[in-house]
Chains A and B, each alone.
Chain A
Amino acid sequence: TQLLEQSPQFLSIQEGENLTVYCNSSSVFSSLQWYRQEPGEGPVLLVTVVTGGEVKKLKRLTFQFGDARKDSSLHITAAQPGDTGLYLCAGAWAGSYQLTFGKGTKLSVIP
């Protein structure tokens, strides 16, 4: 079974602080996605990373794919209450159409 481990599981920070969320596996991904999910809604795609070492930025969010394509991180600068939600990483392996999700990081940003 191919597993994705996310850490931390829960994170509560003050508005304006920075944070990093991690996603790790022992297997090599062909691609990895980050999603954000709010209560009562489905996950919404934030970014897809494909190339080892790739860095993508989405406003205050920076996504990095590890050189070996086994890990990824999401860094949020100057967090805002609107960033509150469940952040999920999901990996796809070569030859597979399935996405395997981590358990998620539940982020709370306190005003």
Chain B
Amino acid sequence: GAGVSQSPRYKVAKRGQDVALRCDPISGHVSLFWYQQALGQGPEFLTYFQNEAQLDKSGLPSDRFFAERPEGSVSTLKIQRTQQEDSAVYLCASSFPGYNEQFFGPGTRLTVL
């Protein structure tokens, strides 16, 4: 596709459930980023991949958060045992390596009840 796509667009989970959020980056973009955006805030960095390698996961808020990109294209962000404070929009972005301009997907809005 022409842009970054994310699915699902909306996810409602009961507290304690596991969720998986998917990101399809722009073809040819080897760098992939995940961000968390709380209501009324700017996006905050979670993790970064270059191809299949996760080079930085310093922004992941707890060990309940896990991201993977096994074949260097599609990425999945998994949140285990969701908590209410996990409610946010999760954004995925991709870019060429060494190039700071990132292209964002529409995000997945996660609501934990």
Chain B positions within 8 Å of A6 at CB level: 42
- The residues of A with any CB-CB pair to B shorter than 8 Å are 6, 30-31, 33, 35, 40-45, 48, 88, 90, 92, 97-104
Chain B 52-69, CB within 8 Å of chain A: the 1/0 string?
Answer: 000110000000000000
Residue pair A97, B100 in contact (C-beta under 8 Å): yes
- The residues of B with any CB-CB pair to A shorter than 8 Å are 4, 31, 33, 35, 40-45, 48, 55-56, 91, 93, 98, 100-107, 109
Closest to A92 in B: B100
User: In the complex where A97-B48, A98-B45, A103-B42 touch, is A41 in contact with B106 (Cβ < 8 A)?
Assistant: yes
Chain B positions within 8 Å of A30 at CB level: 100
How many A-B residue pairs have C-beta atoms within 8 angstroms? Tell me: 56
Residue pair B48, A43 in contact (C-beta under 8 Å): no
User: In the complex where A31-B100, A42-B104 touch, is A101 in contact with B31 (Cβ < 8 A)?
Assistant: no
